[in-house]
Amino acid sequence: MSSFDAATAVSRRAGSAADTPVYDVDLDAGWSIGGKPNGGYLLAVLGRAALDAVGRSHALATSGHFLRPPSGGPAEIRVEVMKTGRTVSTARAVLWQNDKACLDVLVTAGELPTDAPEHAGYPQPAMPPPEQCQARQQDDIPVELLDHVDVRLVPETVPFHRAEAERRDVEPVIRGWMRFHDGADADALALLLAVDVCPPTVFHLGRMGWAPTVELTCLLRREPAPGWLAFEAKATVLAGGWFDEEATVWDSTGALVAQSRQLALVNSR
């Protein structure tokens, strides 16, 4: 079992009703940022429970509302099967810890296509290979996630310790690569993590520090081919203490495999 599979494992509680099953989970603090489990990691955990509940292979669309940050350790996932159909099924999964709801996720599940897309309008940008990129470094907030995920950033998009971070004309874009340290290839469920592994793009705008996700939606487009995953993340608007961040992920063949958009809070300057 890969480290990712072990960290996202769920156990269906005996006696749970078919349409409202409950799953026990032990959240792995090693997949955290600043001691709190990474948002993409949490989506993958709840996605695994939802897929089991509806008997489907892939989370085609996943939308998570982050209510409060959980901690590493025991928790439970309460799933409600909303619809089962021939093409798609839908389930709501809520993560509970210490009698408090932490994350509310809606998953539309089905089967990813295996044929080539009829149209793909967002090709992978030109990027240096991973060995010419810079490993993501720890910053003021410890990133425990990096013990499991090898994240390489394209040098010219690295936001840390750059004087131009205070310039308002810097483009808030980060590109890079990711793979697991244990050598396991990413599957479709791991793409929920891949859209959330880079530093916050608002670091480029001088807004360093904690940037908690409030809502994150991810669309999966196809199973990734073995090898490195390439990603690009960018912010469109920073206003009133809020920012959005869009992420796109391509597999080792250059095929677009995942897209996401999230709303997050930002520290004051």
Overall domain count for the chain:
2
| Residues 90 and 188 both lie in one domain | no
Predicted pLDDT of residue 21: 97
Return the DSSP state at 31. G
Kindly list the averaged pLDDT for each block of 10 residues, start to end, along the chain of length 269: 96 94 97 94 98 97 97 98 96 98 98 91 94 82 92 90 55 96 98 96 86 96 97 95 96 97 86
- Please state whether 55 falls in left (phi above 0), alpha (psi between -120 and 50) or beta: left
| Residues 105 and 139 both lie in one domain | no
Please indicate, yes or no, if residue 125 is contained in any of the structural domains. Answer: no
Please indicate, yes or no, if residue 122 is contained in any of the structural domains. Answer: no
Predicted pLDDT of residue 267: 76
pTM (predicted TM-score): 0.94
| Residues 85 and 194 both lie in one domain | no
Predicted pLDDT of residue 139: 64
* Residue range of the domain that includes 177: 130-265
